[in-house]
Amino acid sequence: MPDSPVLGPLTHVSEEEQMFRESVREFARAKLRPQVHSMDEAGRFDPDLLRQFFEMNLMGIEVPENLGGSGCGFFMSILAVEELSRVDPSAGVIVDVQNTLVNNALMRWGTEAQKERYLPRLASHALGAYALSEAGAGSDAFALRTQADLKGDRYVLNGHKLWITNAAEADLFILFATVDPALGYKGITAFIVEKGFSGFQAGKKENKLGIRASSTCELVLENCEVPRENVLGEAGKGYKVAIETLNEGRIGIGAQMVGLAGGALEAGIQYAKEREQFGQPIARFQAVQFQIADLATQLEAARLLTYNAARLKDARLPFVKEAAMAKYFCSEVAERIASQMVELFGGYGYTKDYPAEKYFRDAKIGKIYEGTSFMQLQTIAKVVLGER
């Protein structure tokens, strides 16, 4: 298989995809934007907006039609995440986790019975979450300590999870635990855990710097009983589920950062056209023009990297390096653009009355979750050097 096809055909957006993009963009501007500030201040996502995500079929984009989804490709999910994130990256990550992590894990690794039971719920009304991280298992994801003991026809899980996106509202969790710590990563197992299972609860909600409307919580498992048939994949093969799903999820974070950067730059351009100094809009000053031109070029490069990785995934071609590059570069560009837009807005950029400061706060997480920038560089280096 070729390492990577030519960029051009992969980054083309079809008429159908463009129509979908425009519908999500219109929704984000009309329904989402009026609530961005209040949700950020409250640290809570409006449940009515979440309901509308399901009504718009944004939560089961790749789920087959016979299971209640839209039956579209991965690229459509990326477009949805990007457009929502232009207005509010908190909304973007909710849709991202649902589609690129939870749904994808079930579609790839689930049994037919699991798919028939859970995918229609995820496509219609149930929010999903992905529970891998723990206090001592961040970049070293497989150092997790949550224990799963087989007792008859069920596993009993004990432990704590941290930094779990969507946890406050989620109905279903793809959760990782070890069936035998002595086996190292070969003991890691993925489970499908329902919110109502005995011994399971969402704990403390984090008070975060950015993407505040998106919930991030700890999970507490105290003798949590999970039916044996809720093992996702095979016992001891959870590391494969995690690695392969996160490779896809990183493209989603790239799309979130592209959307964020695009929204920040769009707001800055509008402000530059309206703000007058020395008798003319600041957009007429060459220094401002060059700054915007440079940032627009970086944004387009980030978008192309993300689209290319998504197209490779849809084409079932190798995309691990491209996903890592997209996640790494897009998070760098998003932080850079958001920061410079604060400066472009001047004193106003430092206040909550204008959007620049929120984009700046939201951008920081891009370098941290779903694999830090250092972890992405490590992955890229291994592929480029032929070690993977």
Same domain, 325 and 250: yes
Rounded mean pLDDT of 138-150? 92
Report whether 328 contacts 287 (CB < 8 A).
no
pLDDT value of residue 5? 37
Give domain status of residue 55, yes or no.
yes
DSSP string, 257-317: HHHHHHHHHHHHHHHHHH-EETTEEGGGSHHHHHHHHHHHHHHHHHHHHHHHHHHHHHTT-
The C-alpha angle 300, 306, 308, rounded to 5 degrees, equals 100
> pLDDT band at residue 3, thresholds of 50, 70 and 90?
very low
Same domain, 192 and 211: yes
Same domain, 272 and 376: yes
Give domain status of residue 333, yes or no.
yes
Give domain status of residue 48, yes or no.
yes
> pLDDT band at residue 11, thresholds of 50, 70 and 90?
low
Same domain, 250 and 182: no
Please give the tally of structural domains in the chain: 3
List, for residues 294-305, the tens digit of each pLDDT value: 999 999 999 999
The CATH number linked to 93 is 1.10.540.10
Cα dihedral across residues 120, 122, 123, 124: positive or negative: positive
pLDDT value of residue 373? 97
Give domain status of residue 358, yes or no.
yes
pLDDT value of residue 387? 78
User: Any long-range contacts for 372-375 (C-beta under 8 Å, 24+ apart)?
Assistant: 372/139, 373/328, 373/331, 373/332, 374/139, 375/139
Same domain, 163 and 175: yes
Q: Which helix (H) or strand (E) holds 219?
A: strand 216-227
Last residue of a domain, one of 127, 146, 177: 127
pLDDT value of residue 10? 52
Rounded mean pLDDT of 89-101? 98
pLDDT value of residue 34? 98
List, for residues 339-384, the tens digit of each pLDDT value: 999 999 999 999 999 999 999 999 999 999 999 999 999 999 999 9
**DSSP summary character for residue 184:** G
Listed range (135-144, 182-191, 309-318) with the worst mean pLDDT: 135-144
Give domain status of residue 1, yes or no.
no
Last residue of a domain, one of 127, 158, 189: 127
CB atoms within 10 A of CB 65: 11
The CATH number linked to 160 is 2.40.110.10
pLDDT value of residue 2? 38
Report whether 281 contacts 369 (CB < 8 A).
no
List, for residues 156-208, the tens digit of each pLDDT value: 999 999 999 999 999 999 999 999 999 999 999 999 999 999 999 999 999 99
pLDDT value of residue 6? 39
Residue 256's domain comprises 239-384
Last residue of a domain, one of 75, 106, 127: 127
> pLDDT band at residue 8, thresholds of 50, 70 and 90?
very low
pLDDT value of residue 388? 72
**Exposed, middle or buried, 371 (CB in 10 Å: 0-12/13-18/19+)?**
buried
Same domain, 114 and 160: no
Same domain, 40 and 115: yes
Same domain, 261 and 380: yes
pLDDT value of residue 9? 45
pLDDT value of residue 135? 94
Same domain, 51 and 86: yes
As annotated, the active-site residues are 370
Same domain, 198 and 209: yes
List, for residues 15-34, the tens digit of each pLDDT value: 999 999 999 999 999 999 99
Give domain status of residue 63, yes or no.
yes
* Residue 154 half-sphere exposure toward CB, CA atoms < 13 A: 11
**pLDDT at residue 337 above 90?**
yes
Cβ-based neighbours of 61, under 8 Å, separated by 6 or more = 69, 70, 72, 76, 77, 80, 99, 103
Does residue 147 sit in helix, strand or coil?
strand
Same domain, 45 and 115: yes
Distance of alpha carbon 251 from alpha carbon 48, whole angstroms: 27
Give domain status of residue 69, yes or no.
yes
Distance of alpha carbon 381 from alpha carbon 103, whole angstroms: 29
pLDDT value of residue 106? 98
Q: Would you report the helix, strand and coil content of the chain in percent, each value rounded to 5?
A: 60, 15, 25
> pLDDT band at residue 7, thresholds of 50, 70 and 90?
very low
List, for residues 117-138, the tens digit of each pLDDT value: 999 999 999 999 999 999 998 8
Rounded mean pLDDT of 234-240? 95
Report whether 261 contacts 338 (CB < 8 A).
yes
Distance of alpha carbon 250 from alpha carbon 369, whole angstroms: 9
Give domain status of residue 2, yes or no.
no
pLDDT value of residue 98? 98
Same domain, 190 and 280: no
Alpha-carbon distances, residue 141 vs 93, 265, 331 (angstroms): 20, 34, 21
Q: Output the pTM of the full model.
A: 0.95
The CATH number linked to 288 is 1.20.140.10
